[in-house]
Structure 1
Amino acid sequence: MSTPRFLALPPGVSPQRVETSVGSFAALEALPVRGVPERWPALLVPGYSGSKEDFIAILETLAQAGRRVVAIDMRGQYETKGPDDPAAYSCEALGEDIDAVADVVGAGEPVHLLGHSFGGLVTREAVIGGVMKPASHTLMSSGPAGITGTREKTARLMLRTLPEVGLEEIWASRLEPEALAAGVPDEIVAFLRRRLFANSLTGLVAMAEEVLAAHDRLDDLCELDVATLVLYGEHDDGWPPALQAEMAKRLCAECVVVPGAMHSPAVEAPETTAHALTRFWNTAEHRLLHTG
């Protein structure tokens, strides 16, 4: 679970709804404070049990580079409603959602697509099977297949105990004590609770199954001519850093390691992360515009 440092929206950032052919998605939209966007837009997709708020700390900086940036809640996450059908939360189904959202966000322009953690497993489905070809694809703290390490244990715990004891017990016995022990401010703890309980229970179970059982699809990604960035924290406790570095090699992708960060670079090192993304996006745009 990512822990936003703050919830107040920076200048130029506002809550929105993205209306698509497959439904309405809650979003945070960042625009340059001065002037109109001059570069291609970006779409940011959160991880398991996360939300658009996980990107608050980088939205203003990203937008000031001259582009519109949209972070969303996926189907069943926080402020985006989802059905009780587990099939709606497969990586493939969620990837189809992202393809539809990108079509609206891009409005005819290529879109820079970023997936954090489980969101990376989803965005790769949009890239592989979607209609749109993104301007670039960033895998942030994600991996080639099912999650490993400490966060694998957390996902298995959720999968095992959620149907038995419910969210209230999991929050009270584990998640809240962990947040308080880490010194998370009271207002952020209150937000984390509100966000967790707003999630679809069906979605939480189905997404946990997906993040644990995901298959390696790097060969499929390699066949596509899409500029790719693998970005992760130096001390990532999700997919091991060495595994993500190997993934970057297999994808012939650029690789950025964020010093001092763990599984959520956008929260733990926002300026470093935002500048790395802006540089990569600008380079990808330049290459596309000059090579056709």
Structure 2
Amino acid sequence: MTLHPAPAPSPDARAYFLSTSRGDFAVVDAPPAAGTEPRGTALLLPGFTGSKEDFTLLHGPLAARGYRSVAVDGRGQHESDGPEHDETAYAQRELARDVLAQAGALGTPVHLVGHSLGGQIARAAVLLDHTPFRSLTLMASGPAEISVSQRQRVKLLRDALAVMSMADVWEAIEAMGPPEEVGGPARGIGGPELLRRRWMGTKPAQLLATGLQLCTEPDRVAELAAVPLPFHVLSGARDDTWPLPVLDDMALRLGAHRTVVEGAEHSPNRDRPEPTARALADFWDGSGG
């Protein structure tokens, strides 16, 4: 399979398949910028209907701060393969084990960042085994199930996927206007061609299984708070998926560092990449690099 990376995220970034004990995963891997002191490695997990390209605009500023950033397509997402119709392959525990394998393949303890759905998968991975990680950042990712309005959107998508092809669903989504991240394909970097390609590359079973997870996720904050890692809760100033008071409360319960990126909504990584990257790097610097 040929990778089709978005426009260069940083001069030395490369797209390839990361070989792990649980299969190969499509990644974009951006090393620290030339002349900077290497500070560490970050593994970036995208959200529902998203992909590694959602982090494109973070790679450059993170590289300038000395951080290697590796954005990954999860199992059955965009350019990473997975079963077409077997939803059990996308159980949260299976996806969490994939993350542990990805971290292991990178060969160094990593700062783990999960956006939205990716945050809940990241949390599950940390709860299985925290030792491969130096910190955990939950980006626009809350303590439990998504909001009522977003659960309704996901239900519509799941109902459509039960009776329509991926191509037909895409055409219906386009006809309704610009898609949003939860309940429809996320806006990304690379324009309409990338949006359609990654939608068509994503497996229906992955969307069905992970959509259900978003709508039924239990609150595991107390369990996570017992893990000996530095935590960071980062969000935009407005979020319809997990409202800010919910994220604020989760941060308090975790004893986490809290960042609100002004001018950003559910995807600060795309809405305001420079201050988002700065907040990530500042947190990592403060937690030991």
State the TM-score, normalizing by the size of structure 2: 0.90
Give the paired residue count: 277
Counterpart-to-counterpart distance in 1, 2:188 and 2:117: 26
User: 1:97 matched to which residue of 2?
Assistant: 98
Does residue 226 of structure 2 align to residue 218 of structure 1? no
User: Does structure 2 conserve the Cα–Cα contact (< 8 Å) formed by 1:48 and 1:117?
Assistant: yes
User: Does structure 2 conserve the Cα–Cα contact (< 8 Å) formed by 1:179 and 1:189?
Assistant: no
Tell me the CA shift for residue 267 of structure 1.
0.2
Counterpart-to-counterpart distance in 2, 1:63 and 1:262: 24
Tell me the CA shift for residue 36 of structure 1.
7.3
SS at match of 1:247: helix
| Aligned-pair Cα RMSD in Å | 2.1
SS at match of 1:163: helix
User: Does structure 2 conserve the Cα–Cα contact (< 8 Å) formed by 1:143 and 1:247?
Assistant: yes
User: 1:290 matched to which residue of 2?
Assistant: none
User: Does structure 1 conserve the Cα–Cα contact (< 8 Å) formed by 2:36 and 2:65?
Assistant: no
SS at match of 1:179: coil
User: 1:137 matched to which residue of 2?
Assistant: 136
> Aligned letter for 1:48?
F
SS at match of 2:55: helix
User: 2:11 matched to which residue of 1?
Assistant: 11
User: Does structure 1 conserve the Cα–Cα contact (< 8 Å) formed by 2:114 and 2:122?
Assistant: yes
SS at match of 2:93: helix
Counterpart-to-counterpart distance in 2, 1:217 and 1:124: 9
CA 145–38 in structure 1, closer or farther in 2 if over 3 Å, else same: same
SS at match of 1:62: helix
CA 186–46 in structure 1, closer or farther in 2 if over 3 Å, else same: closer
Where structure 2 has 5 or more consecutive residues not aligned to the other structure, the ranges are 181-186
> Aligned letter for 1:100?
A
Query: How do 1:206-245 residues align onto structure 2 when only pairs under 5 Å count?
Result: 206-245=209-248
CA 266–85 in structure 1, closer or farther in 2 if over 3 Å, else same: same
Q: Percent identity of the aligned residues? A: 36
Residue among 179, 204, 207 paired with 1:204: 207
User: Does structure 2 conserve the Cα–Cα contact (< 8 Å) formed by 1:42 and 1:69?
Assistant: yes
User: 2:279 matched to which residue of 1?
Assistant: 276
More helix by share: 1
> Aligned letter for 1:86?
E
User: Does structure 1 conserve the Cα–Cα contact (< 8 Å) formed by 2:112 and 2:136?
Assistant: yes
SS at match of 1:226: coil
Counterpart-to-counterpart distance in 2, 1:222 and 1:254: 13
State the TM-score, normalizing by the size of structure 1: 0.89
Per-residue CA deviation, residues 97-136 of structure 1 (Å, 9 max, x unaligned), is: 001101111x1x3210000000001000110012634110
User: 1:289 matched to which residue of 2?
Assistant: none
> Aligned letter for 1:45?
L
Counterpart-to-counterpart distance in 2, 1:281 and 1:244: 20
User: Does structure 2 conserve the Cα–Cα contact (< 8 Å) formed by 1:234 and 1:259?
Assistant: yes
CA 252–123 in structure 1, closer or farther in 2 if over 3 Å, else same: same
User: Does structure 2 conserve the Cα–Cα contact (< 8 Å) formed by 1:32 and 1:63?
Assistant: yes
Does residue 121 of structure 2 align to residue 122 of structure 1? yes
Counterpart-to-counterpart distance in 1, 2:188 and 2:109: 39
User: Does structure 2 conserve the Cα–Cα contact (< 8 Å) formed by 1:149 and 1:239?
Assistant: no
Tell me the CA shift for residue 19 of structure 1.
0.5
Counterpart-to-counterpart distance in 1, 2:122 and 2:49: 16
User: Does structure 2 conserve the Cα–Cα contact (< 8 Å) formed by 1:37 and 1:68?
Assistant: no
SS at match of 1:41: strand
CA 112–159 in structure 1, closer or farther in 2 if over 3 Å, else same: same
Tell me the CA shift for residue 43 of structure 1.
0.2
Does residue 54 of structure 2 align to residue 39 of structure 1? no
CA 121–235 in structure 1, closer or farther in 2 if over 3 Å, else same: same
